[in-house]
Amino acid sequence: MSAKEESAGATALPRGTALLREPLLNKGTAFNAAERDAFGLRGLLPPRINSQADQVRRVLENFRRKPTDLDKYINLAALHDRNETLFYRVVVDNPDEMMPIIYTPTVGLACQQFGHIFQRPRGLFVSIEDLGRVESVLRNWPHRDVAMIVVTDGERILGLGDQGADGMGIPVGKLSLYTACAGVHPRQCLPVVLDVGTNNAALLEDPLYIGLPQHRVRGEAYDALLDEFIAATQVVFPGVVVQFEDFANQNAFRLLQKWRDRICTFNDDIQGTAAVALAGIVSALRISGGRLGEQRLLFLGAGEAATGIADLAVTAMVAEGLTPAAARARCWLFDSRGLVHDGRSDLVEHKRPYAHPHAPVTVFADAVRALRPTAIIGVAASAGAFTEEVVREMSAINKRPIVFALSNPTSKAECTAEQAYRWSSGQALFASGSPFGPVTLDGRRFVPRQGNNSYIFPGVGLGAITTRARRVTDEMFMAAVRALCAQVTPEDLAQGSLFPPLAQVREVSAHIAAAVAQVVFDQGLAGVPRPADLLVHVRSQMYEPSYADYTQGRA
């Protein structure tokens, strides 16, 4: 919804304190004189009228006084709850400063403390106790034009594990990025937690835990809740995009497979992570040379992220001319029990395509020596696993080793940027899941950038929403990879940056959305007529966090 649509018809707006308490409409001290008269705000606000720019300065001044990142998170959450337009103006104008607070890495700590910092509910909590009445719960949401749902059951929050209902911080943060990075209107965004209990003993003993104080429900009851929830979303919000987020491996793969050909859905942990990682590898190859099909990828981890990246890399290698079997043979997994190989009898289904003939290896550095990979990709939340021995071994094998420490939050990173550059004598092509600052080594300045899903999923979601796509396909994620790579400049590569700056993320998302839209129309999956210029169309649909004049009906 545009600002003009939102502001049309002064009589449709609440008055007085009700208007000040509606975060989608509240402008605080920026209400002008005519609005104060029209909506009964005289005396309820200080007499001086501030511009939005004045308000941003006040927000930043107070934000920067906060002593810890968690305090900053709480400060921004409070702003989000009282004035969404101002919140998004602050985030959009200061992405490098704000995104690490509203999402990774700080959102992980916020989830761990969620029950203790809880102030005001945001999103919907659908619990196992709502089985049989989920549709009525969804109808309690005040908006009917919801276009994007991010849903989690809280079992695998980042690299932190089971956070139960406290995992609500993830869909809230993810949807904030949809708006900030891709201009999806906040009114169209719905965060959801499916509370089926938690097996986190500390939460079960915490009197301030906000979820059901019971162990997780599994089996038929769990599946019944998921089925009822998905069905209800399509009734209450027809055509809504449903993004699965931070489900444990045992559910993530099967839920994606069950629903991906029936509704418009994707799993960002599997598909979004895959796309951003593959884009980073392609950018790295612009520096090191060589084709993707010539690379050997070794993943530390064998869950959603690792197999998702491997699957997409295989798709890209096949497009280069390799057979599927030859492409899979270039991808190796290393899990908690060691190298995944065909002699192991303990492998779950998603690991088996990457179980190749090899002797057992239980030490990651030994796997590097044995397999001689060109890239190591950390997605197991195993802090410090890329040791000096590992990085130096990679540097001995490769002139320009690819080292991706993608686990987050920062406390779970496989190595830091400084370690990767120092241990490789400045030769590593590095990306990370959490932010690291520039590194100076031997007079050379490196600017590492996050291989963060925020480069991918907002644009994919925007492309699906603006076309009313009926499905999200693998080809759309490949289009997103190509569009992201096209935004990485030679100047970026010269300083070791494999991704564009976050300051350009809205432009990046627009190009990704247009590329996704192209595939949607080409595959006959669109629910709207094809516009003449997809990029122009996408940009026209992007929300801009500027105040409307409620008395004039103009932005």
Cα separation, 540 vs 28, whole angstroms = 27
Cα angle value 96/476/146 (rounded, 5°): 70
Plot region of 199 (φ>0 → left; ψ -120 to 50 → alpha; else → beta): alpha
Please say if 103 is a catalytic residue: yes
Handedness of CA 10, 14, 17, 20 (dihedral sign): negative
3-class state of residue 103 by DSSP: coil
Handedness of CA 355, 330, 432, 360 (dihedral sign): positive
CB 5 within 8 A of CB 543: no
Cα separation, 160 vs 358, whole angstroms = 32
Distances (CA, A) of 101 to 55, 76, 431: 19, 8, 19
**Annotated catalytic residue: which of 27, 73, 88, 174?**
174
Q: Which residues contact 251 (CB under 8 A, 6 or more apart)?
A: 153, 155, 222
End-to-end CA distance of the chain, in Å? 12
The DSSP result for 311-369, as a single string, is: HHHHHHHHHHT--HHHHHTTEEEEETTEE-BTT-S---GGGGGG-BS-----SHHHHHH
Taking 3-state DSSP, the helix, strand and coil percentages for the chain, each rounded to the nearest 5, stand at 50, 10, 40
**Annotated catalytic residue: which of 88, 103, 421, 550?**
103
Cα separation, 179 vs 428, whole angstroms = 34
- Dihedral over alpha carbons 250, 252, 258, 263 (to 10 degrees): 160
Active site residues: 103, 174
